[in-house]
Amino acid sequence: MSVQLLDTATSVLLKDPTASLGDVAKAAGVGRTTLHKRFPTRADLIHALATEALDLVGEAISSVDLDTDDAIEQLVEKLVPLGPRIEFLLRFPNLRDDERLSVRLTTLDQPVIDLISRLQGTRLRADLPAWWITQILYAGVYSAWEGIAAGRLAPLDAPRLVLTTFYLGVSDAGAADRS
């Protein structure tokens, strides 16, 4: 129930960031008064959505053993379904106005960046900045979610698609190595 509310609230606000609280309440199938009781102000609601998104993404990252060989594979697998939450964190720039949220946002990526940096000694190209590789990884995850949301991509195909593009790129030469 409660999770359902945050879920639809997220999607409504993503479709139209200026949607009124009445719209959110209606979409969630609850009265505006009820919504207000849970989240006294609009800022509270958005803050709650951000916090929940941070929690979910954080859990996803820390649920993966970043020292194992297929860490990135597991990471992508866990992150793709969180598409809307990631989109929320990306598309509400003013979240950084809140001190605590801002800290959590920057802290969130750090273990991933560290992982990438470590892998640059072995499996990953060392001639690219770690932040760039991380960014590209997230971009792939997010693009995959977009494809799923648009109905163009099967959820089960997503991780493979993201990973092969991430590792090998789209040039014809790279494809021969892998199956």
Partner DNA sequence: ACCGTTGTGAACATGAGTGTTCAGCTGCTC
Partner DNA sequence: GAGCAGCTGAACACTCATGTTCACAACGGT
- Binding residues for its own copies, rule: CB under 8 A, are 14-18, 91, 93-94, 122-129, 131-133, 135-136, 139-140, 142-143, 146-147, 152-153, 161, 164-175, 177
Q: Which is nearer to DNA, 25 or 124 (CB)?
A: 25
Site map (CB under 7 A) of DNA, residues 8-37, x = contact: ------------xxx------xxxxxx-xx
How many angstroms separate the CA atoms of 36 and 164, rounded?
Answer: 45
65 binds, among DNA, its own copies, none (CB under 5 to 8 A by kind): none
At closest approach, how far in Å is the CB of 146 from DNA?
26
Contacts 24+ apart (CB under 8 A), 64-73: 66/111, 66/112, 66/114, 66/115, 71/115, 72/115, 72/119, 72/137, 72/163, 72/166, 73/159, 73/163
Return all residues near 175 (Cβ < 8 A) that are at least 6 apart: 168
**Structure tokens belonging to residue 38:** 């849970």
Q: How far is the CB of 172 from its own copies (least distance, A)?
A: 5
Task: Give least dist CB 2 to DNA, A.
Answer: 8
Q: Identify which of residues 13 and 82 has a Cβ nearer to its own copies in the complex.
A: 13
Is 88:56 a contact under the CB 8 Å cutoff? no
Give me Rg for the CA atoms of the chain: 18
CB of 31 to its own copies, least distance (A): 24
Which residue, 156 or 170, has its beta carbon nearer to its own copies? 170
Which stretches of the chain bind DNA, using CB under 7 A? 20-22, 29-34, 36-37, 40-43
